[in-house]
Structures are given as structure tokens and as C-alpha cells.
Amino acid sequence: MLSSTPSAWTRPNRLALTLVLAATAAGAAPLDEPHLKVVPRTKAEAARIAAATGAPAAFDAPQPFEENGGGAATVRPRANADAFSQPSANIGFDGELTFKVGNGLFKKLWVSAPSSTLASDGLGPLYNARSCQRCHLKDGRGHPPEGPDDNAVSMFLRVSVPGGPDIAEIEDYIATSPEPNYGGQMQDFALPGLKAEYRLGVTWEEIPVELSGGETASLRAPTWAAENLGYGPLAPDAMLSPRVAPQMIGLGLLEAIPAADILAQADPEDADGDGISGRANVVWSEEFDMAMLGRFGWKAGMPTIREQSAAAFSGDIGISTPLHPGPEGDCMVAQEDCRNAPHGDGDERVTEIDAEGLDLVTFYSRNLAVPARRDVGAPQVLRGKEVFHATGCTSCHTPSYVTHRLEDQPAQSFQLIWPYTDLLLHDMGEGLADHRPESRATGMEWRTPPLWGIGLTERVSGHTYFLHDGRARNLLEAVLWHGGEAAAARDTVISLPAADRAALIAFLESL
């Protein structure tokens, strides 16, 4: 999240960042992970890990421990909408108490300042939601507008303009800056007396797709628009990117995957000739003042859960944190009424949520458990798993990892997990392109999203909308939108016998 004033933008060390990018590209030592207290692996452990995470020899039975996607942190799958809201199974009694306090802050409805409830004031002045939970509904996925009167609080537009002197000379980075009138993110709500920045508009076009066996599908292609602009026109070269809130489960386990294991899968020049050229997004950490591996967000633009949480507080709710101390959130200099509105900082907390509160929300987000898989040994699911591997889906959706052994995070330490992602950037083709870069990510690239829990989306969120803007109405549509590096896999799915295509979807729904 970019700060609200140009003078306060993060200015990464150009030389340091350039050297890190060069070393990463050359296959040198992996990026540092200062947010983790790592116990180095032994050679014996490395051998065990290689055996546990290798490709299956056969598809007639589940692999060992495959049902527990989150390792020992896995919980039983709830039959209601709380399936994504459970604490890690191995968190312990004290950890569960901390989790519940963090959950309270995650659900807290913030109010405007000044207020008698000093611990809850500071909302806005511009915002997308009054709480974290209002976007991550039941800790699940957001959704696009479902009608002209739908406020779509679980979706917003990122915005930026080309150019930016701070990183323009760093190789592989694409320089962008906040839009002069609207900042880095557009907010569709405002406090009384202020104007909201916009209203999200969309029109849909249906695109028929013929499948093998006489079957057909229909894709809905969106055209997004920022309507009812409250602070003047957008810059002519403004780049907009729609984003729905992603599901929250397993974030701490993703954070604990060794950077070396992620970077080992990168193949930016497609040296192996398989058509897949994943790239790591290397981003500048505001907390640690160094280059780190990007893991979180649709384009892997954030390195840690704590930084992702702080950016969301600032951009989504207008709440200042120790990492983003500006109380005005994403308000730009041109938005004088917003910047001059009352704020909730200045008391003993200093910022509107203090370091302790941010840490509690981080702990909660880190420990949202992955539900166990269902029907893992069903014949159709096993056939679908075989199809998933045969069509090349695992080239990006890496099935399993073993997390770092950690000194102070037992719930995430040395766990065999099954997230089905490489956390790398991939060119997904023109159909999904937003044409808005983010650090190293181009306007055609997206981070491979984890697939664990995807089959419980309707149970948790009440819908089956997928991809970064929710355009896909079911899992088959999500597959059919794949292009670019994934075009060959998509075409294979289109040509599959209908029974194999159904098995593939059954496998995905079991995750």
C-alpha cells in the first residue's frame, strides 16, 4: 500500500534491490526471511521432505497424509459457514485465547472520530468497509456486484499511473505511482459530510465455449468502470484493477514455506521448455527495510501477513498502524476535506490501531485453519487427481511442501501441507490481464492462488465466484479463463472426455 503523500512513499534502496534481483535471477542464495525464526534443516530432513513431497507413483489411493491439507493444524470440515473460521488444531489453549482476541479485532466495527469509544475510532475518512470481516466474509471470498444496488463491499479497484522515479532504474521493476486524485485504491464509502470516491460499475458479456462431447460452457467477460467520481476525473493514463477479497485460510503455513523452495520452482526464461515461466515477485518490506519474497495478494505484492494486514487497515478501512501511521489512509493531497477531517490517532495508542492490536490481527490471520479434505479416496476424485497431474496443472499449482522448522511458531513448524500453489507470478493471457503492474508483476501476470478449501467456497461464502474479480461462476469457468502459460492445460481440459472433465472438477471440489 502506497502512502497518501508523495514525500512519504517508501523509497527502496536501489542498489540493494538491484543486487538482490540479480542474485535471485542467477540462482544464488535465497531471499532472507527476517520475519521467521528458522531452525536450519538437516540433510536427513531434506531427504525426508523430498520423499514426502514427490509426485505420486500411482493414483489408485490417496497419498500419505493427503487428507490433512494443513498438516497437524488441519481441522475437521464444518458443515456450516464457519468452515474457514476455526483456529489451527495444534494451536494450544493459550493460542486459542489469543486467536479469539484477534478475531474480535478482525470483526470490530470501526467508528468515526471523535468518539467516546477511543479504542474503536478513526474510521476513514474514506473507506471500503468498517471491518476486516466485512470484506473477508466468514474469512472467505468476496464477490463482484450482483446488481445495480449491490454495494459490493468485498471488492474494490486498485489504481495507479505509469512512472515513478524511486524504482524506475531498478531492473525488472515497473515504475508506477498513485493516481493524483484517488491514491492507490478507490474507496466507495465516506464519512458523513464527505464524498465517496466512486461507485463500482460493471457490464457483462457472455462468451460461449464449445467443449468435447457436445457440451458447452459460457464465460462472462466483465468491463469494469469507476462511476460517480467524487474528486474529479481520473488521469487519462490511470490503470484500474478490480480485486475481490481472497479467502483467509492457511496464511501462516504459506508464510512458513521456505523461500528457497519457492524460488527453486522459478523458471523466468523457460529453460526447461515446458511453456511455464514462473517468476518471483520481489518486493520491498516496509517493516524490515529490505527486499523480500512477495507471497500475499493477487500479484504477490506483500511479503508478510503483518504487512498485508497493515496495508489493508490503511487502504480498506482508513485505520493507521505503526507500519502506515498516516491517519488519513489513502487520501491524497488534492482531497483536502478528507485530509482535514478528524482522526482517531493522538491518544495513548499513538496510531488508530497500535502494535499490539496489529499483532493480534496478524496472529488471527496466521492461524485460520485449513479444513480437512472430503472424499479423498473416492474413485472419481482419484481419477480427477490423475487428470490434474496429466494436464500439467501441477506446473503452477504445486501440491505440497514442508514448512520451515520454527522456534516460536509451533502451529506452523515443520508441517507437510498441500496448498496447491507455487506462489509465483505467471502470465495468464490477455483474457485475465488487468494491464496494471505491481513491483515486478506485469499487467498480464498473477500469483498462482492456493486451491486448498476451494470446494467449500459455496458453504462459506454463499457463492462460487472465482478469480481475481469473481468473473468465473464455477470452477469449470475458472479453468476455461486460463490463458498465456496455462493455455495448453486449458485446451487439454476442453478436449477431455466429459467423464474426465467431471472427475477433474470433483477433485477440485474435494480440496
What does pLDDT average to over the chain?
91
Mean pLDDT computed over 107-119: 88
pLDDT above 70: residue 265: yes
Q: What pLDDT does 163 receive?
A: 82
pLDDT digits (tens, 9 = 90+) for 94-107: 999 999 999 999 99
For the entire predicted model, the pTM comes to 0.94
**Gap between the Cα atoms of 342 and 326, Å rounded:** 13
How deeply is 343 buried, as exposed, middle or buried, from its count of CB atoms within 10 A (0-12, 13-18, 19+)? buried
Three-class SS state of 417: strand
Mean pLDDT computed over 178-198: 94
Q: What is the dihedral of CA 85, 87, 93, 97, to 10 degrees?
A: -50
State in Å, rounded, how far the first CA of the chain is from the last one. 31
Q: What pLDDT does 5 receive?
A: 35
Q: Which of 20-24, 412-416, 491-495 has the lowest mean pLDDT?
A: 20-24
pLDDT above 80: residue 21: no
pLDDT digits (tens, 9 = 90+) for 268-279: 888 999 999 999
C-alpha cell, 98: 489469543
DSSP 8-state code for residue 316: I
Mean pLDDT computed over 494-510: 98
Q: What pLDDT does 164 receive?
A: 74
Residue 175 near residue 165 (C-beta atoms within 8 A): yes
